[in-house]
C-alpha cells in the first residue's frame, strides 16, 4: 500500500522533472529566436530598403513573426517531451 511519504517523494520527483523541462524549454525558445533571427534578418532587410526598414511598424511585424514561429516550435518540442516523460 502506498504511504503518504512515498506519494510526496514521487510528487517531488515529478515536480523536479517538470521544472527541468520548463527551464529547458525557455532555453529552446531563446535559441530558436536567435537562430531564426540569424537566418532571416539579412533577407528581410534586403527585401526592404533602409528607409522602410527604419520604420518602427515594419520591424515590429518582423519580430512578432519571429516570436510566434519560435513559440510554436517550442510548444511542439514541449509536447513531444511531455509525451515521452509520462
Name the pTM for this structure. 0.75
Average pLDDT over residues 12-16: 68
- Per-domain residue ranges of the chain: 4-85
Contacts of 53 (CB under 8 A, 6+ apart): 45, 59
Average pLDDT over residues 73-79: 93
Give the pLDDT confidence score for residue 28 in this predicted structure.
94
Of 22, 31, 25, the residue nearest 66 (C-alpha): 31
Give the pLDDT confidence score for residue 77 in this predicted structure.
92
Give the pLDDT confidence score for residue 9 in this predicted structure.
52
Q: Within 10 Å of residue 66's Cβ, how many Cβ atoms?
A: 20
Which segments of the chain does DSSP mark as H helices, in order? 4-47, 50-53, 56-85
pLDDT by residue (tens digit) across 38-73?
999 888 888 877 777 777 777 888 899 999 999 999
Q: Within 10 Å of residue 70's Cβ, how many Cβ atoms?
A: 20
- In the block, cell 520527483 appears at 13
Amino acid at each position: 500500500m502506498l504511504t503518504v511519504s512515498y506519494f510526496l517523494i514521487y510528487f517531488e520527483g515529478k515536480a523536479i522533472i517538470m521544472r527541468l523541462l520548463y527551464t529547458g524549454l525557455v532555453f529552446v525558445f531563446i535559441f530558436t529566436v536567435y537562430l531564426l533571427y540569424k537566418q532571416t534578418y539579412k533577407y528581410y532587410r534586403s527585401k526592404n530598403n533602409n528607409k522602410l526598414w527604419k520604420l518602427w511598424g515594419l520591424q515590429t511585424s518582423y519580430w512578432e513573426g519571429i516570436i510566434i514561429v519560435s513559440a510554436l516550435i517550442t510548444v511542439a518540442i514541449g509536447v513531444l517531451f511531455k509525451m515521452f516523460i509520462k
